[in-house]
Amino acid sequence: MSANPRPPRPARQNRAARRFLFAAAGLTTAGALVAAMPASAQGHGGHGHGGHGPGGPRTVDVQLLSFNDLHGNLEPPAGSSGKVGIVDAGGVEHLATSLRKARQGKAYSVTAAAGDMIGGSPMLSGLFHDEPTVEALNKMKLDVTSVGNHEFDEGSAELLRIQNGGCHPTEGCYEKDKKGKPKKFKGADFPYLSANVTKEKSGKTLLKPYTVWKKNGVKIGFIGVTLENTPGIVTAAGVKGLKFHDEIETVNKYAKELDRQGVKSIVALIHEGGAPASSTYDYNCDSPGPGDGISGPIKDIAKGISPKVDALVTGHTHQSYVCTIPDPAGNPRLVTSAASFGKVYTETTLTYDRRTKDIVRTAAKAPSSRNHIVTRDQPEREKLGSDMRDLIARWNVLAAPIANRPQGYISADIEGRGSPAMEKPLGNLIADAQQQGLSAADKGGAQLALMNPGGIRSDLVYKASGAEGDGVVTYGEAFTVQPFTNLMNVVDLTGADLIAALKQQVSGGNEASPKILQISKGLTYTLDLTKKGADRIDAATIKLNGEAIDPAKTYRVAMNEFLAGGGDNFPALALGKNKLNAASDLDVFNAYLAANSSAAKPIAPPATDRITIVK
């Protein structure tokens, strides 16, 4: 238990291109491809800007603003998690300002997102089951979003409440109206789309599969899907009773349906992404050719989605890119992503042909899509972001009694989410806290601990976020780092199971995008990146306190319930026996901070010397 009592914790949160060509900045290859194509392939009849009919201009430009993976970051993210390069970025006050500025003077503008708007959120949103974030998105005039895997953290019933409104089933309403009566949560004004998520019993989609945005005769269909592997990265309770289907097959199915309805302009919102060759926020990944500068699941998905779909807005990997990945007809099609935490947004121009009802592909002479940093130095925010400031202030009043409570002390920034390294200082600290906190025989007898990197949601920052003083870690800051409040488990794993789990970091479902577990002090091994797959882990180097791991021996291992259930594609960890359920990961972390730090003796960033990396 935590050294400091806390109120009841929130419910657990872990629980076609034949018609269209975009040219991003510098996409000369894409332009050359269009120039080489016959007019009949550049849209219906090859028409573009300049055609006029009896009702006015034949084509109109529609502004598409998009973002992804906000994760409830209402306030600017702390530390390196809140930077794009060296630029401080993010926070809904600044995001709202950026979007509202971008819309000015645009007759046609639609705003869409690609999932993970909520879940894994900092305390200001997470403590209230993300109602504050949904309220902010309503005020920002978000038109539509797909669901992400984190929208399932608290299960499908909670996601339906987020969509439809109503107060939380156990915690009730958080605010009161002017008459002192409970103020009911209104839900999302925008539709959540889950085309590839169906109910096991009925086979019906959990939420709407698509929606059609309309204005003055202009119609654009949006299909929303999440990654098919959502059950592998969310707790079993979070996806109970649901089936997750193939992204390509699902999008193609509903693209046909929209086409039959006369909706010829279609955008897919896909909560799955890729890994660009550069981390630059405005990276053009069409070098040397279309889509050559990006890898990962989205590349294959994009190549398989019907040419009826005109653009793909993606997410999940928290990366920034603007690409034109060839569709099944071999023609480039725009695929975008806007980092995470509201630090970046994408602006795309869709040229709509009123006669064909389709998006026109032209050899654009100027960028048709690019990413923009959501900077924090916008003077317009005083006016354009004032409602967001008021919203944050209102919810902070409710959170303050809990959020500002000191938990411990640190001597410098301890990087977690913001660290690009495989072994992260904060990951080591969390793993140490779990091993130490559950090492006593009556608490599980943990000899080592494993922590999933995706569960570390922020950095611990030395500079004070409020009036607590520099170096003080508050409950709110600790919550932001570990917001899921997963229960801790301690289980028996054989040495063979442990070796298999470490190999699964870089093989199987994790080979394309390795998930390097954060490990407690005493566990060491070598990761050889010059090799492939499971061979990257040299089993002979895996040691605990200097002794080689014995495949036949049994070890007591502490980890959160998500990992213990085989989450993040670690089936070997689900083989644990003699499970002991312990306190939540957040309680264990706070107890460690209280027991191991003081103002006079703060915790220093742990060394990152447990994993020897060979490159």
- Which region among 4-13, 282-291, 362-371 has the lowest average model confidence (pLDDT)? 4-13
Q: 91: helix, coil or strand?
A: coil
- Report the C-alpha gap between 54 and 161 in whole angstroms: 46
Q: Is the domain of 415 the same as that of 362?
A: no
Report yes or no on whether pTM surpasses 0.75: yes
Answer yes or no: is 50 within a domain.
no
- Which region among 277-281, 478-482, 611-615 has the lowest average model confidence (pLDDT)? 277-281
Q: How many domains are there within the chain?
A: 2
Q: Quick check: 490 and 585 in contact, CB under 8 A?
A: no
Answer yes or no: is 14 within a domain.
no
Q: Is the domain of 325 the same as that of 417?
A: no
* Residue 307: partners with Cβ closer than 8 Å, 6 or more residues away: 16, 17, 18, 19, 327, 328, 329, 331, 333
Mean pLDDT within 265-271: 98
Q: 337: helix, coil or strand?
A: strand
Q: Is the domain of 378 the same as that of 413?
A: no
- Sheet with 577-584, side-by-side order of all strands: 518-519, 448-451, 554-560, 487-494, 577-584
Residue corresponding to tokens 């570990």: 482
Looking at residue 79, what is its pLDDT?
A: 87
Q: Quick check: 487 and 560 in contact, CB under 8 A?
A: yes
- Report the C-alpha gap between 391 and 353 in whole angstroms: 40
Mean pLDDT within 457-486: 94
Of all helices (H) and strands (E), which one includes residue 527?
A: strand 523-528
- Strand-pair category, 547-548 with 543-544: antiparallel
Largest CA distance in the chain: 83
Q: Is the domain of 416 the same as that of 365?
A: no
Q: Is the domain of 350 the same as that of 412?
A: no
pLDDT in tens, 61-102: 999 999 999 999 999 998 888 999 999 999 999 999 999 999
Nearest in space to 198 (alpha carbons), one of 139, 239, 255: 239
- Report the C-alpha gap between 241 and 82 in whole angstroms: 36
Answer yes or no: is 3 within a domain.
no
Alpha helices (H) in 90-129, listed in sequence order: 92-103, 123-126
- Report the C-alpha gap between 576 and 556 in whole angstroms: 9
Q: Is the domain of 461 the same as that of 599?
A: yes
User: Can you give the CATH number for the domain in which 279 is found?
Assistant: 3.60.21.10
Answer yes or no: is 11 within a domain.
no
Q: 448: helix, coil or strand?
A: strand
Alpha helices (H) in 218-246, listed in sequence order: 230-233
Q: Is the pLDDT of residue 490 over 70?
A: yes
Looking at residue 362, what is its pLDDT?
A: 56
Q: Is the domain of 367 the same as that of 475?
A: no
Q: Quick check: 564 and 573 in contact, CB under 8 A?
A: yes
C-alpha distance across the termini of the chain, in Å: 41
Mean pLDDT within 269-298: 92
> Cβ of 123: how many Cβ atoms within 10 Å?
23
Q: Is the domain of 435 the same as that of 540?
A: yes
Average pLDDT, the chain: 90
Q: 477 lies in which domain range?
A: 406-614
